[in-house]
Structure 1
Amino acid sequence: MAILATPTYLLTGFLGSGKTTLLNNWLKQPEFSDVAVIVNEFGAVGIDNDLISKSDEDTIELTTGCLCCTVRGSLVETLMALFVKRQQGQVRHFNAVVIETTGLADPVPVIQALMTTPVSGNFHLAKIITTVEAPQGLSTIDRHAEAAKQVAVADDIVITKGDLVAEGHVNVANALKTLNPGAPIHNTAPSAPLALSAILGSGSLETSAQFNGPKYWQNADVVKQDDRHHHRHDLNRHNSEIGSFVLTFDEPLRWQEVAAWMDALVIAHGEDILRVKGILEIENTDQPIVVQSVQKLFHPPFALEQWPDGTRQSRVVFITKAISESFVREVFDIIRSARKPSASPSILSELELTGATS
């Protein structure tokens, strides 16, 4: 019987953003049973001794059912060792993995590790969660490229320490929407800790390893409307060139043209195309097709059973560095006008519709 890849969640956030505090809170919640958590060092997490039921040099089992591990060697080595231990019954069985990154880490290499062999056969990247502190988060994003990139690639954003800012989280949230318009934004504070269910919805870590669904596109559409009426906040107005935009298409698209479009952008500007997340209406295909990428890495596409919000319209969110909306649209217009799919192998070779809809 084939072994299904384990859904894996990446928890990122700059130094002091409240990432570890959030993780500590989640460790105590019932939804975290049957989850393996990978951290850089146990001491930094500060696990309550009363929660420890069993431990050795690099793993700790908690009374809640959660398994905590430290990175030994590379992340790939740690994940594969954990996989083997589970197969051999050396550790408690787990149905999902959460990886906490260091505060200074560029998240893209970690994402690359999760999306390439041998890891991708046993673990699949389900969601990227990023923490941003309300008091200093925006200035940190402005000064540190890593912090900006952490927000740009996130599927969900958690604003922490909102109780320390007079305006709370509202201004921070509005600014973050200009950087990542589709990501749901959550809030947490010591007086009102964020429940894991807010991230998961009604499911578990295992069952929530799915596309964000209608919420992502509703969020992106709202920001697009705000942009038209000039209500957006000017985040990163000084030394950062990261921005976002949403392209919409009312008519069905040709798959070969979409693939050639993404090829052209990635080959020429892959490092600056930080995130692409699209839901597409493709010619001769009834189901909506989802495409996602982080820089040069494309997730295998998949078909949804139905349009998440009932609207049959192609929508693609781009988060880029110094790449304008007009340039991205112009590249697509040139490809569409040529009407000749590239004969060369596509960088999106996995994205053939026969594979996506089967």
Structure 2
Amino acid sequence: MAEVALNRTPVSVITGFLGSGKTTLINYLVSLDNLRDTALIINEFGEIGLDHILVESSFENTLLLENGCICCSIRGDLVDTISDLFTNVTNGKIPAFSRIIIETTGLADPRPIVISIDENLALRDRVRLDSVISTVDGVLGKNQMEKYQEASIQIASSDVLLLTKGDISDNTTLENLMGAVNGINPTAPIREIVNGCIDPDELFNIDINPNREAQANIARNGEKVGSAHNHIDSVSITHDGTIPEEKLNYWLSMLYSLRPQNLVRMKGIIWLEGKQEPLLLQAVGNSISPLKNLPNWTEPFIRTRLVIIYQGLHKDSLIDSFRRHVLQVLGDF
């Protein structure tokens, strides 16, 4: 039994609020030579997933990336998903992996994941929890902590905290954020990163943070996060074909001018008329990032996909607004 325990596969959990840079961090990590045999399990909030596409396109629920990394979108129970990875290795469907990284949704409480990995009998001899890592938005993080309980719990439950977007933040904002983060989790090291770049030795095989253990114990005793995201919802919009850039910009400007306080997160794969490759659309709060080219796109079809995470709006109204102002489709839908 001791030998089995020594050979258990390390599992790290990457958490962090919506738009804080989790996918950017993961893309950097799996590009490193010594992490290319990593299995990724991605859990997303919304009817259609985009994060696993932005890592690479999925093959059923498991993907062998070009660099040799495996990516799974969670379907059902996490324990079953991890067990299926090992079964697929045994059956020769995927190559062996030496590490598992789980990316949570931006609204997740990571503590139940920690408890499952630590205590589930089906996993105990196969995996061990290595570290819990939280990304914190260097621009909007303090506001998110004050407004959303999920953001604070993610920070409190982590072994190491990564302040992102320092290149577009300012010193005062970062200092205030660091003070707020330290007040929630005073025992976790805090690192500033840009574009996901960090030495993996600072994330993996590190000391367990006592604050993370304390948070897991709180969860074991039955505390739950708020109302299970009842105050936040999502809508997914797809369109087969290109869309006009001018009309998209008008719609975004209108939406963020009228309802900035209701928009939590937006992420999309956008195909614009006249473009030979798709673009990545991202927005956090009322801040919209410039569209980013996605070169070497491998999907054989042209499909715009957009996920909007919001509060206090109506799903059908958002879909109708997009259809009317971007696609210029009138009437019932």
TM over 0.5: yes
Q: Is the 8 A contact 1:18 1:160 kept in 2?
A: yes
Aligned partner of 1:182 among 181, 187, 211: 187
Q: Is the 8 A contact 2:52 2:71 kept in 1?
A: no
Q: Is the 8 A contact 2:62 2:71 kept in 1?
A: yes
Q: CA deviation at 1:56?
A: 2.6
Aligned partner of 2:178 among 149, 173, 178: 173
Q: Is the 8 A contact 1:29 1:196 kept in 2?
A: no
Match of 2:168 in 1: 164
Alignment of 1:11 with 2:24, yes or no, is no
Q: CA deviation at 1:296?
A: 5.3
- Structure 1 CA distance, aligned partners of 2:128 and 2:218? 17
Cα distance, 1:153–1:18 mapped onto 2, change above 3 Å: same
- Structure 1 CA distance, aligned partners of 2:34 and 2:156? 27
Match of 2:36 in 1: 33
- Structure 1 CA distance, aligned partners of 2:53 and 2:144? 25
Match of 1:44 in 2: 51
- Structure 2 CA distance, aligned partners of 1:105 and 1:296? 13
* Equivalent residues in 2 for 1:94-113, closer than 5 Å: 94-113=97-116
Match of 1:80 in 2: 83
Match of 2:207 in 1: 211
Q: Is the 8 A contact 1:31 1:196 kept in 2?
A: no
Q: Is the 8 A contact 2:38 2:98 kept in 1?
A: yes
* Equivalent residues in 2 for 1:326-341, closer than 5 Å: none
Identity %: 33
Match of 1:130 in 2: 134
- Per-residue Cα deviation, 1:43-70 (whole angstroms, up to 9, x for no partner): 3244466xx8xx6311111232211112
Cα distance, 1:166–1:296 mapped onto 2, change above 3 Å: closer
- Structure 2 CA distance, aligned partners of 1:56 and 1:35? 16
- Per-residue Cα deviation, 1:99-131 (whole angstroms, up to 9, x for no partner): 000011111222222122222232111100001
Q: CA deviation at 1:297?
A: 4.8
Dislocated runs of 4+, deviation >6 Å: none
Partner-residue secondary structure (3-state), 1:169: helix
- Structure 1 CA distance, aligned partners of 2:51 and 2:160? 23
- Structure 2 CA distance, aligned partners of 1:196 and 1:294? 30
Partner-residue secondary structure (3-state), 1:165: coil
- Structure 1 CA distance, aligned partners of 2:18 and 2:125? 31
Q: CA deviation at 1:72?
A: 2.0
Q: CA deviation at 1:133?
A: 0.3
Q: Is the 8 A contact 1:24 1:45 kept in 2?
A: no
- Per-residue Cα deviation, 1:304-325 (whole angstroms, up to 9, x for no partner): xxxxxxxxxxxxxxxxx9xxxx
Q: Is the 8 A contact 2:61 2:73 kept in 1?
A: yes
Q: CA deviation at 1:148?
A: 0.7
Match of 1:249 in 2: none
- Structure 1 CA distance, aligned partners of 2:110 and 2:98? 23
Match of 2:145 in 1: 141
- Per-residue Cα deviation, 1:268-299 (whole angstroms, up to 9, x for no partner): xxxxxx743xxxxxxxxxxxxxxx9542559x
* Equivalent residues in 2 for 1:280-319, closer than 5 Å: 293-295=216-218, 297=220
Give, as a single letter, the amino acid of the residue that structure 2 aligns with 1:211. D
Give, as a single letter, the amino acid of the residue that structure 2 aligns with 1:81. D
Q: What is the TM-score with the length of structure 2 in the denominator?
A: 0.57
Alignment of 1:117 with 2:113, yes or no, is no
Q: CA deviation at 1:98?
A: 0.2
Match of 2:156 in 1: 152
Relative CO higher for 1 or 2, CA cutoff 8 Å, sep ≥ 6? 2
Q: What is the TM-score with the length of structure 1 in the denominator?
A: 0.54
Give, as a single letter, the amino acid of the residue that structure 1 aligns with 2:164. T
Partner-residue secondary structure (3-state), 1:64: coil
Cα distance, 1:103–1:296 mapped onto 2, change above 3 Å: closer
- Structure 2 CA distance, aligned partners of 1:211 and 1:294? 18
